């Protein structure tokens, strides 16, 4: 039986992306034929601006080489414009007579520049700015002529003007609006932008209307005349006054159009055999002109073309970034505001920084940033996530750093960084390498950048910076997914949230059941999703779901930390940082017996024995167990330590018994697995010698009881813990901190530290569940105690229950 | 001369897990078993910075190195793109529940 035929009209960004998505989820389903009016394979249209500016060449922006079409058995007709769609006979006809029959048709004809209806608009030298041909024409004109006029002070117009200026032309931008980019910026930001572009040598005529274009002796355009009679020379006129969805072909064939091809939420037109995506489409009355929404459309269309029928496109919020080197500008959502909105504004004309945030019902609905856009992606994320911002409102305008992050996650301004600057410290990746990969390989998402450059793929602390580099390189084409909906990994389209809901809601208790119920794309997941799924299983169904050691990272499987030479480190637990001479003697004996090369005091108030051979681990643990010591879980996404100061037991300032409080907490939490590692500290007075301010839960003794702080972090991203509440007794410390940790265990996503969890849901949400709802708090606390009721020392059980084979190498004789 | 040597029972290797075979010379060999009970053998040395692949997570026909997360193909020992490099592979076979290695 032959396969159904899919024909794509329009070999551009949205159409080809749809085909790529389709091939990903259902390869070999269709015989695919693509018609493109341009003589090129699919290229990255948004990078025409850097091509014009001379920063890149045409071949650098090709997204799909001809080989790609061949490998995927796609028949490609370049340079062939489709003239007719014959819906009765289900075929398309190109201008040269080529015909092709279809079972499904996908229309992605993009849009065309709007040419102002004025005399002379068809003269040689008058062009739009849309494709490689236009770009070549501008480059050519710049080499031979002097005066350029760009009509339209929008994103496209300014990028064209900047490019022509860089190529040596004298450029004037004519704009009808009162300030530049009035569809992206408010007046203040628009004026600041104009000032910096003027500093680069561009000229502007605002609130000016063009009346006619005047022909010169050569036959080419020579001048432009405005209303009121003013006239200036022009050898090249670029019309960038807007785009028109290109739907004439569809309309002629009788498909319903209304300022675009009208589609429903599945990207289907009024003819059920015909789908449409991209700029030619009108979805819920909106035609989008940026690639990010078009890519979302592509994903939905592909899913329906594949016959899966899941997924709806419901529209997008877009953000913009001007791709003019050296200018930092970002805008998103409703940046103008209105009657029922409030505004927070920071204006520093001297420093060249302007920020405006528009807030409605305690949520960010839009914003404009000029001069300092480092926080743009962060604001955009808050906006998309609909995060309640009232707890961070005071410092919101100062950006993510002041809200908490003082690490290097977003500190430097991506656009200003030198190419040689290191972005990812773990893998030694520079900004230049990342920009290069984004451009050369056509990358659009953080995941793609991670895959191709390794940046942000280890500790992840530079992810924010990489996102900023993405945004400044590809402009508005970059949209972060709402965190709630980011897929766990390449093995599935489901988010952490969905996976956990399914495990809980459908009572799934094994990874096989999860992979089946959620239609995992790989047979047994990967190193990213398996540990996550395993954690969700054992935390949702304690005592019921069976832990799968093969889904755990080696450290948790071997109950020790792997070191760079393949040896392991052993850290016995010292409750609350307390030890005894007998324990120290046993540690010393073990260190000698197993020839431990390095003995070190850790940052968590205990002793680390480094450089142990894996095969020696079981015997060494047995020796330590015999002396009464147990695993310190220094290797796990689990409770690590409870640091303490000497407290009122000895200290002359102490108000509370910090050591005994610490020991109680550590015993309560023993063997607790969590989304990520968990560290606590207890100090006996506000001098806080145990550094409780940077712990997941910090407890500080005061005269009348204890203060509890949560969500601190001393690691990659130093976060100061936030005040949760004050309690009176040791029992309350255990109940409140236990309840908070259980909440985190139930709601935190795998590998999300408490600080990130808190950042995501907001301190108020946590307070409402832990402080205001007494019954809820007690229930969380009870669930924590229940899931830890049969906690065992993994060192002891590894000897008694599990086969210890993993520790025993097979020796090959001879 | 290399010849087939009996290593262990198939069930001595956990599914989606591995065992280490120590040789007197030439370095350790990692033997992997995947979910479909296919068995593979690679030099226990990641092409990146010599991490012990035997300690990684096995999925499909790949293993993820425990040190920096490279993915290595179990069939050929080649690193999965965009990483480049490869590590030595060895012939293994399973007969009547016994695993043999050509070494
Ligand atoms: C200079 C420039 C800079 C831009 N910068 C950005 C940016 O920074 N960020 C951003 O998000 N977006 C940007 N855009 C917009 C972005 O490029 C478009 O939104 C995107 O390319 C639209 O994709 P599409 O598939 O709908 O249309 P296109 O990519 O235009 O593809 C449509 C294709 O269909 C072909 N075609 C049309 N009719 C027919 C026919 N009858 N038969 C055969 N083929 C036909 C056309 O020739 C064209 O190749 C920029 C655009 C330009 C021009
Ligand atoms: C019949 C006449 C005209 C019509 C119907 C018309 C329509 C429009 C429309 C619909 C837009 C918005 C474009 C978009 O959606 O991107 C626009 C933008 C624009 N028009 Fe016109 N226009 C006309 C005449 C003119 C004239 C005579 C001039 C100039 C002298 C002009 C200058 C502009 C400019 C500069 C913009 C760009 C605004 C921007 O980029 O943000 N228009 N026009
Ligand atoms: S925190 Fe207070 S009680 Fe504890 S050691 Fe320091 S000064 Fe003493
Ligand atoms: S040693 Fe294997 S990934 Fe680095």
What pLDDT, on a 0 to 100 scale, did the predictor assign at position A338? 77
Query: Is A458 within 8 Å of B68 when comparing Cβ atoms?
Result: yes
Choice between B23 and A452, residue whose per-residue pLDDT is larger: B23
Contact A660 CB / ligand 3 (< 6 Å): no
Same domain, A474 and A595: no
Place of tokens 């969700």: A536
User: Does residue A336 lie within any of the structural domains?
Assistant: no
Mean pLDDT value across residues A526-543: 93
Same domain, A251 and A194: no
Q: What angle do CA A199, A201, A203 make, to 5 degrees?
A: 105
Running DSSP on this structure, what letter comes out for residue A579?
-
**Token couple for A204:** 């502007």
Same domain, A765 and A690: yes
Number of domains in chain A: 6
Q: Does residue A34 have a pLDDT over 90?
A: yes
Query: Is A812 within 8 Å of B5 when comparing Cβ atoms?
Result: yes
The residues, ordered by sequence, that sit 6+ positions from A598 with a Cβ below 8 Å of its Cβ are A608, A609, A610, A611
Output the ligand 2 site: residues, CB below 6 A: A 114, 116-118, 151-154, 157, 175-177, 183, 209-210, 241-243
Contact A646 CB / ligand 3 (< 6 Å): yes
Report the number of secondary-structure helices (H) and strands (E) in chain A.
Answer: 27, 37
Q: Is A466 exposed, middle or buried (0-12, 13-18, 19+ CB in 10 A)?
A: buried
Which residues of chain B have a CB within 8 Å of the CB of A451?
82
Mean pLDDT value across residues A231-236: 95
Query: Is B55 within 8 Å of A558 when comparing Cβ atoms?
Result: yes
Mean pLDDT value across residues A60-73: 92
Inter-CA distances, A551 with A8, A23, A250, A515, B61, Å: 42, 29, 52, 13, 15
User: Confidence class of residue A465 from pLDDT cuts 50, 70 and 90?
Assistant: confident
Q: Does residue A416 have a pLDDT over 70?
A: no
Domain extent, residue A77, equals: 5-110+245-305
Query: Is B56 within 8 Å of A812 when comparing Cβ atoms?
Result: no
Residue nearest to atom 3 of ligand 4 (CA): B68
Cα A100 to Cα A93: distance, rounded to the nearest angstrom? 7
Same domain, A678 and A559: no
Looking from the CA of residue A157, the nearest atom of ligand 2 is 40
User: Confidence class of residue A477 from pLDDT cuts 50, 70 and 90?
Assistant: low
* CATH number, residue A440: 1.10.10.1100
Contact A688 CB / ligand 3 (< 6 Å): yes
The residues, ordered by sequence, that sit 6+ positions from A423 with a Cβ below 8 Å of its Cβ are A417, A429, A430, A431, A434, A455, A462, A465, A466, A469
**Token couple for A423:** 């972005």
Q: At the top level of CATH, which class does the domain B4-91 belong to?
A: mainly beta
CA gyration radius for chain A? 31
> Does residue A746 contact residue A754 with C-beta atoms inside 8 Å?
no
Does B24 contact chain A (CB < 8 Å)?
Answer: yes
Task: Please report the DSSP string for A460-529 in residue order.
Answer: -TTHHHHHHHHHHHHGGG--PPPGGG-BSSTT-S-BHHHHHHHHHHTT--SHHHHHHHTT-SSSS--TTH
Mean pLDDT value across residues A731-745: 97
> Does residue A430 contact residue A453 with C-beta atoms inside 8 Å?
no
Choice between A473 and A10, residue whose per-residue pLDDT is larger: A10
User: Does residue A619 lie within any of the structural domains?
Assistant: yes
Digit-coded pLDDT (tens) for A215-224: 999 999 999 9
Digit-coded pLDDT (tens) for A284-337: 999 998 888 898 899 999 999 999 888 899 888 777 767 666 677 778 888 777
Which residue from A523, A811, A813 is facing B35, i.e. has the nearest CB? A523
Mean pLDDT value across residues A509-517: 93
User: Does residue A571 lie within any of the structural domains?
Assistant: yes
A-chain residue closest to B4, CA distance: A812
User: Does residue A729 lie within any of the structural domains?
Assistant: yes
> Does residue A216 contact residue A224 with C-beta atoms inside 8 Å?
no
Mean pLDDT value across residues A550-573: 91
Place of tokens 């109940």: A735
User: Confidence class of residue A605 from pLDDT cuts 50, 70 and 90?
Assistant: very high
**Token couple for A307:** 């016959």
Does A805 contact chain B (CB < 8 Å)?
Answer: yes
Same domain, A277 and A235: no
Cα B1 to Cα A224: distance, rounded to the nearest angstrom? 87
User: Does residue A235 lie within any of the structural domains?
Assistant: yes
B-chain residue closest to A549, CA distance: B17
Digit-coded pLDDT (tens) for B79-97: 987 788 889 999 999 998 9
Does A554 contact chain B (CB < 8 Å)?
Answer: yes
User: Does residue A355 lie within any of the structural domains?
Assistant: yes
What pLDDT, on a 0 to 100 scale, did the predictor assign at position A406? 34
Does B62 contact chain A (CB < 8 Å)?
Answer: yes
Query: Is A811 within 8 Å of B22 when comparing Cβ atoms?
Result: yes
Digit-coded pLDDT (tens) for A760-792: 888 989 999 999 999 999 999 999 999 999 888
**Token couple for A18:** 């749809």
**Helical (H) or strand (E) element with A766:** helix A763-770
Q: What number of other Cβ atoms are within 10 A of residue A54's Cβ?
A: 12
User: Confidence class of residue A457 from pLDDT cuts 50, 70 and 90?
Assistant: low
Task: For chains A and B, count residue pairs whose Cβ atoms are closer than 8 Å.
Answer: 96
Give the whole-number percent of chain A exceeding pLDDT 70.
93
Same domain, A644 and A780: yes
The answer to whether the complex's ipTM is over 0.90 is: no
Of A584, A604, A626, which residue is a domain's last?
A626
Cα B11 to Cα A12: distance, rounded to the nearest angstrom? 53
Which residues of chain B have a CB within 8 Å of the CB of A549?
14, 17
Q: Does residue A413 have a pLDDT over 90?
A: no
**Token couple for A777:** 């708090």
Digit-coded pLDDT (tens) for A368-402: 888 777 777 778 878 887 888 888 888 788 776 65
Q: What are the sequence ranges of the domains in chain B?
A: 4-91
Which residue from B23, B50, B59 is facing A530, i.e. has the nearest CB? B59
Does B9 contact chain A (CB < 8 Å)?
Answer: no
Which residue from A527, A555, A566 is facing B64, i.e. has the nearest CB? A527
User: Does residue A668 lie within any of the structural domains?
Assistant: yes
Return the SS3 of A772: coil
**Token couple for A325:** 């080197």
Give the whole-number percent of chain A exceeding pLDDT 90.
60
Choosing from B44, B54, B67 the residue with most ligand 4 atoms within 8 A of its CB, the one to mutate for a pocket test is B67
Contact B68 CB / ligand 4 (< 6 Å): yes
Choosing from A13, A55, A86, A181 the residue with most ligand 1 atoms within 8 A of its CB, the one to mutate for a pocket test is A13
Digit-coded pLDDT (tens) for B50-77: 899 999 999 999 999 998 888 999 999 9
Query: Is B21 within 8 Å of A813 when comparing Cβ atoms?
Result: no
> Does residue A690 contact residue A643 with C-beta atoms inside 8 Å?
yes
> Does residue A653 contact residue A687 with C-beta atoms inside 8 Å?
yes
Cα A271 to Cα A269: distance, rounded to the nearest angstrom? 5
* CATH number, residue A205: 3.50.50.60
Cα B38 to Cα B61: distance, rounded to the nearest angstrom? 9
Same domain, A53 and A172: no
Same domain, A73 and A9: yes
Does A809 contact chain B (CB < 8 Å)?
Answer: yes
Cα of A582 vs centre of ligand 3, distance in Å, is 27
Same domain, A770 and A755: yes
For the beta sheet containing A342-348, the strands, ordered from the edge strand earlier in sequence to the opposite edge, are: A319-321, A329-333, A363-370, A353-360, A342-348
Which residues of chain A have a CB within 8 Å of the CB of B16?
524, 550-551
Cα of A113 vs centre of ligand 2, distance in Å, is 11
Does B20 contact chain A (CB < 8 Å)?
Answer: yes
Does A525 contact chain B (CB < 8 Å)?
Answer: yes
Residue nearest to atom 35 of ligand 2 (CA): A152
Query: Is B20 within 8 Å of A809 when comparing Cβ atoms?
Result: yes
Same domain, A674 and A748: yes
What is the average pLDDT score of chain A?
88
Residue A119's Cα: distance from chain center in Å?
Answer: 48
Digit-coded pLDDT (tens) for A418-435: 777 777 766 678 888 888
Looking from the CA of residue A652, the nearest atom of ligand 3 is 8
Residue nearest to atom 9 of ligand 2 (CA): A242
Q: Does residue A279 have a pLDDT over 70?
A: yes
Does A558 contact chain B (CB < 8 Å)?
Answer: yes
Q: Give the distance from residue A803's alpha carbon to the nearest chain B alpha carbon, in angstroms.
A: 9
Place of tokens 């309309």: A251
3-state secondary structure A1-46: CCCCEEEEECCCHHHHHHHHHHHHHCCCCCEEEEECCCCCCCECHH
Of A305, A327, A352, which residue is a domain's last?
A305
Query: Is A527 within 8 Å of B7 when comparing Cβ atoms?
Result: no
Residue nearest to atom 6 of ligand 3 (CA): A689
Digit-coded pLDDT (tens) for A75-89: 999 999 999 999 999
Which residue from A453, A524, A553 is facing B59, i.e. has the nearest CB? A524
Inter-CA distances, A433 with A207, A418, A422, A436, B68, Å: 42, 11, 9, 5, 19
Q: Does residue A444 have a pLDDT over 80?
A: no
Query: Is A809 within 8 Å of B22 when comparing Cβ atoms?
Result: yes
Segments of A581-638 assigned E as strands:
598-601, 607-612
Same domain, A472 and A504: no
Strands A319-321 and A281-283 turn out to be unpaired
User: Confidence class of residue A409 from pLDDT cuts 50, 70 and 90?
Assistant: very low
User: Confidence class of residue A410 from pLDDT cuts 50, 70 and 90?
Assistant: very low
Cα of A253 vs centre of ligand 3, distance in Å, is 82
**Token couple for A628:** 């009464």
Q: What number of other Cβ atoms are within 10 A of residue B102's Cβ?
A: 12
**Token couple for A625:** 């167990």
Same domain, A621 and A646: no
* CATH number, residue A747: 3.30.413.10
What pLDDT, on a 0 to 100 scale, did the predictor assign at position A405? 38
User: Does residue A376 lie within any of the structural domains?
Assistant: no
> Does residue A35 contact residue A7 with C-beta atoms inside 8 Å?
yes
């Amino acid at each position: 039986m032959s396969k159904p035929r899919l024909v794509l009209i329009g070999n551009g960004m949205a159409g080809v992306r749809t085909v790529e998505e389709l091939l990903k989820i259902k390869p070999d389903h269709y015989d695919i034929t693509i018609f493109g009016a341009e003589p090129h394979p699919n290229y990255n249209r948004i990078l025409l601006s850097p091509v014009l500016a001379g920063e890149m060449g045409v071949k650098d922006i090709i997204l799909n080489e001809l080989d790609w079409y061949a490998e995927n058995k796609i028949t490609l007709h370049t340079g062939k414009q489709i003239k007719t769609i014959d819906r009765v006979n289900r075929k398309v006809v190109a201008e040269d007579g080529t015909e092709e029959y279809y079972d499904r048709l996908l229309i992605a004809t993009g849009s065309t520049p709007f040419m102002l209806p004025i005399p002379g608009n068809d003269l040689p030298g008058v062009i739009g700015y849309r494709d490689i041909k236009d770009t070549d024409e501008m480059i050519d004109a710049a080499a031979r002529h002097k005066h350029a006029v760009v009509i339209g002070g929008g994103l496209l117009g300014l990028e064209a003007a900047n490019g022509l200026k860089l190529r040596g032309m004298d450029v004037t931008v004519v704009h009808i609006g009162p300030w530049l980019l009035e569809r992206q910026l408010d007046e203040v930001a628009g004026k600041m932008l104009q000032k910096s572009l003027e500093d680069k040598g561009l000229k502007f005529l605002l609130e000016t209307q063009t009346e006619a274009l005047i022909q010169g002796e050569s036959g080419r355009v020579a001048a432009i005349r405005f209303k009121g009679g003013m006239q200036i020379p022009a050898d090249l006129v670029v019309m960038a006054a807007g785009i028109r969805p290109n739907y004439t072909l569809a309309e002629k064939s009788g498909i319903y159009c209304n300022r675009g091809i009208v589609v429903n939420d599945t990207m289907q037109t009024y003819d059920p055999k015909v789908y449409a995506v991209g700029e030619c489409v009108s979805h819920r009355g909106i035609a989008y002109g940026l690639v990010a929404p078009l890519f979302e459309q592509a994903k939905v269309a592909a899913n329906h073309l594949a016959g899966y029928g899941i997924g709806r496109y419901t529209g997008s919020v877009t953000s913009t970034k001007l791709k003019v080197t050296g200018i930092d500008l970002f805008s998103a959502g409703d940046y103008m505001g209105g009657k029922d909105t409030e505004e927070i504004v920071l204006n520093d004309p001297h420093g060249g920084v302007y920020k405006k945030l528009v807030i409605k019902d305690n949520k960010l609905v839009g914003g404009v940033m000029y001069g300092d856009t480092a926080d743009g992606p962060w604001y955009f994320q808050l906006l998309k996530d609909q995060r309640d911002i009232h707890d961070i409102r005071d410092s919101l305008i100062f950006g993510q750093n002041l809200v908490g992050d003082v690490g290097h996650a977003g500190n430097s301004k991506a656009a200003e960084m030198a190419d040689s600057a290191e972005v990812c410290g773990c893998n030694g990746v520079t900004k230049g390498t990342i920009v290069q990969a984004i451009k050369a390989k056509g990358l659009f998402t953080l995941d793609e950048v991670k895959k191709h450059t390794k940046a942000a793929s280890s500790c992840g602390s530079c992810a924010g910076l990489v996102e900023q580099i993405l945004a400044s390189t590809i402009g508005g084409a970059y949209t972060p997914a709402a965190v709630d909906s980011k897929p766990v990994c390449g093995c599935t389209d489901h988010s952490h949230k969905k996976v956990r809901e399914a495990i809980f809601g459908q009572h799934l208790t094994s990874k096989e059941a999860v992979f089946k119920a959620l239609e995992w794309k790989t047979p047994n997941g990967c190193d990213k999703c398996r540990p996550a799924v395993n954690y969700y299983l054992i935390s949702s169904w304690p005592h019921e779901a069976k832990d799968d050691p093969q889904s755990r990272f080696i450290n948790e499987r071997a109950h020790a930390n792997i070191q760079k030479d393949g040896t392991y480190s052993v850290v016995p637990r010292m409750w609350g940082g307390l030890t005894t001479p007998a324990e120290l003697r046993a540690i010393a004996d073990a260190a000698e017996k197993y020839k431990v090369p390095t003995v070190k005091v850790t940052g968590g108030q205990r002793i680390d024995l480094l450089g142990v051979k894996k095969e020696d681990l079981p015997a060494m643990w047995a020796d330590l167990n015999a002396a009464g010591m147990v695993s310190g879980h220094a290797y796990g996404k689990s409770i690590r330590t409870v640091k303490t100061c000497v407290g009122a037991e000895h200290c002359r300032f102490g108000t509370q018994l910090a050591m005994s409080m610490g020991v109680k907490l550590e015993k309560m939490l023993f063997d607790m697995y969590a989304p990520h590692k968990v560290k606590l500290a207890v100090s006996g007075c506000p001098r806080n010698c145990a550094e409780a301010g940077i712990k997941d839960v910090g407890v500080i003794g005061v005269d009348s009881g204890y203060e509890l702080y949560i969500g601190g972090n001393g690691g990659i991203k130093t976060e100061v813990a936030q005040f949760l509440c004050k309690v009176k007794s040791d029992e309350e410390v255990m109940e409140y901190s236990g309840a908070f940790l259980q909440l985190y265990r139930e709601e935190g996503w795998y590998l999300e530290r408490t600080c990130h969890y808190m950042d995501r849901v907001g301190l108020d949400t946590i307070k409402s569940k832990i402080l205001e709802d007494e019954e809820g708090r007690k229930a969380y606390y009870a669930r924590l105690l229940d899931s830890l009721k049969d906690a065992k020392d993994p060192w002891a059980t590894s000897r008694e229950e599990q086969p210890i084979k993993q520790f025993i190498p097979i020796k090959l004789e001879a | 001369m290399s010849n087939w040597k009996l290593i262990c029972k198939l069930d001595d290797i956990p599914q989606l897990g591995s065992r280490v075979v120590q040789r007197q010379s030439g370095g350790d060999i990692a033997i992997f078993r995947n979910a479909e009970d296919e068995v593979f053998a690679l030099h226990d040395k990641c092409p990146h910075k010599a991490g012990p692949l035997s300690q990684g997570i096995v999925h499909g026909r790949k293993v993820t190195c425990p040190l920096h997360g490279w993915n290595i193909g179990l069939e050929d020992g080649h690193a999965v793109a965009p990483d480049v490099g490869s590590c030595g592979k060895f012939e293994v076979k399973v007969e009547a529940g016994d695993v043999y290695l050509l070494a």
